[in-house]
A = this chain, B = another copy of it.
Amino acid sequence: MKAVVYEHPFDVAVKEVEDPRIQHPNDVLVRVTSTAICGSDLHMYEGRTAAQPGIVFGHENLGVIEEIGSGVTSLKPGDRVVMPFNVACGFCKNCLAGFTGFCLTVNPGFAGGAYGYVAMGPYTGGQAEHLRVPYADFNCLKLPPGDEWETDFVLLADIFPTGYHGCELAKVSPGESVAVYGAGPVGLMAAYSALLRGASKVFVVDRVPERLAKAEEIGAIPIDFTQADPAEQIREQTDGEGTDKGVDAVGYQAHSRDASHEEPAVVLNTLIMTVRPTGMLGVPGLYVPSDPGAPDEHAKQGQLLVSIGKMFEKGQRMGTGQCNVKLYNRQLRDLIIAGRAKPSFVVSHELPLDQAPMAYDKFDKRIEGFTKVVLHPTLAA
């Protein structure tokens, strides 16, 4: 089959690779109809990880089941399904507690697995014509047949739940004010989720006018941090108090306000200043324990200068970690079907699989409006 294969830094190719096959009674094979490129794919693409040439990318996958293993109960060929980016077993201690992003089974020695991602287990990515899904009864979310909402549904694999997860970590509740740092796809999904959850005021902080315009379109209040300290701007719009909650949708590759250099903790520390005493911070990320390309020795080991004294004085609470997609994907699917959520507004391009190399290049360079790309392996090139 054809698949998007990593060749070397800044280079992917669409190549023939071996077809996946059922390896275990609980596997299914899926014919991929939509698969999105994620900002975290760029970490590998840029060579900033230990990903080796030959890896097939793709952890945001939707398609139609072609074949099922002998142990599969709830699925049959022809079912349309979307898979969380997390691969999870469904029966370990963490999965049982809902923490499917930290499955103890699928990637021995580590808590958590994913498709097509370095160090996340032996699961080939889905930027390809076909995909093997392990523990399929657990990992497949069924969708209505046909192709309606295709571009909304593919976002259920990662970024819509991940944005929502930021709100869940911060326990965003009706009537609250929220500050979201970052208006990339995850930040926009976090702001959108905050509004779905009944937040009264949602501020979105970024520097890019197009992104801020998008935030405003969905009902959020844009804050351009190049104009003035964003914590200060938000304080002024919240009677001097700061917001009830905050979401850091930027993570460790944050840049200084003047954009001159990486300043990995700047967003986290500004968030601490932005949120009022007793507030909560949701940090869907991303922060990493090892970052060889970081600006200093501590940051290389994932240690950052955090304003822990201020955080403590304010009695803030913070939740971190990658999203447990299964905690939210069914509910968000139902909002899409009911016509109450339409997350595809973040998708900028839909392309055939063959155009993946071009899409990676432009997405990585943040040019020509490439903000969120969905590939359709079933589309003629």
- Contact in complex: B201, A278 (CB < 8 Å): no
Task: Report A295-324 residues with CB < 8 Å from chain B CB.
Answer: 298, 301-322
- Contact in complex: B200, A330 (CB < 8 Å): no
**Taking A174-B335, A176-B331 as contacts, is the C-beta distance between A315 and B137 under 8 angstroms?**
no
Q: State whether the Cβ of A92 lies closer than 8 Å to any Cβ in chain B.
A: yes
Q: State whether the Cβ of A277 lies closer than 8 Å to any Cβ in chain B.
A: yes
Q: State whether the Cβ of A332 lies closer than 8 Å to any Cβ in chain B.
A: yes
A176 to B335, CA, bound (A): 8
List chain B residues, Cβ under 8 A from A310. Answer: 289, 302
Q: State whether the Cβ of A287 lies closer than 8 Å to any Cβ in chain B.
A: yes
- Contact in complex: B198, A198 (CB < 8 Å): yes
List chain B residues, Cβ under 8 A from A228. Answer: none
A95 to B306, CA, bound (A): 28
A268 to B308, CA, bound (A): 10
- Contact in complex: B71, A201 (CB < 8 Å): no
**Taking A25-B25, A89-B137, A288-B312 as contacts, is the C-beta distance between A200 and B74 under 8 angstroms?**
no
- Contact in complex: B198, A335 (CB < 8 Å): yes
Q: State whether the Cβ of A97 lies closer than 8 Å to any Cβ in chain B.
A: yes
- Contact in complex: A319, B320 (CB < 8 Å): no
A330 to B91, CA, bound (A): 12
- Contact in complex: A277, B316 (CB < 8 Å): no
- Contact in complex: A138, B91 (CB < 8 Å): yes
List chain B residues, Cβ under 8 A from A117. Answer: none
Q: State whether the Cβ of A286 lies closer than 8 Å to any Cβ in chain B.
A: yes
**Taking A302-B310, A308-B306, A309-B287 as contacts, is the C-beta distance between A73 and B89 under 8 angstroms?**
yes
List chain B residues, Cβ under 8 A from A71. Answer: 24-26, 69-71
Give the residue of B200, B305, B332, B338 whose beta carbon is less than 8 angstroms from that of A303: B305
Give the residue of B93, B301, B306 whose beta carbon is less than 8 angstroms from that of A304: B306
**Taking A89-B73, A94-B278, A320-B317 as contacts, is the C-beta distance between A283 and B302 under 8 angstroms?**
no
- Contact in complex: A317, B319 (CB < 8 Å): yes
List chain B residues, Cβ under 8 A from A302. Answer: 307-310, 312-313
Q: State whether the Cβ of A265 lies closer than 8 Å to any Cβ in chain B.
A: yes
- Contact in complex: A331, B173 (CB < 8 Å): yes
Q: State whether the Cβ of A291 lies closer than 8 Å to any Cβ in chain B.
A: yes
List the number of copies, as a whole number: 4
Give the residue of B69, B169, B301 whose beta carbon is less than 8 angstroms from that of A309: B301
- Contact in complex: B201, A338 (CB < 8 Å): yes
Q: Mark the stretch among A30-38, A98-106, A343-351 that contacts chain B.
A: A98-106
- Contact in complex: A105, B74 (CB < 8 Å): yes
List chain B residues, Cβ under 8 A from A340. Answer: 198, 200
| Chain B residue at minimum C-beta to C-beta distance from A323 | B315
Task: Report A34-77 residues with CB < 8 Å from chain B CB.
Answer: 69-71, 73-74
Nearest Cβ in chain B — how far from A295, in angstroms? 14
**Taking A71-B70, A138-B90, A175-B330 as contacts, is the C-beta distance between A317 and B169 under 8 angstroms?**
yes
Give the residue of B70, B283, B306, B326 whose beta carbon is less than 8 angstroms from that of A306: B306
Nearest Cβ in chain B — how far from A335, in angstroms? 5
List chain B residues, Cβ under 8 A from A306. Answer: 303-306, 308
| Known A200-B335, A313-B321; further 19 A-B contacts with Cβ < 8 A | A25-B26, A74-B91, A91-B137, A96-B330, A101-B315, A111-B276, A111-B278, A111-B314, A111-B315, A174-B193, A200-B337, A285-B312, A302-B312, A303-B305, A303-B306, A304-B305, A305-B306, A306-B308, A316-B320
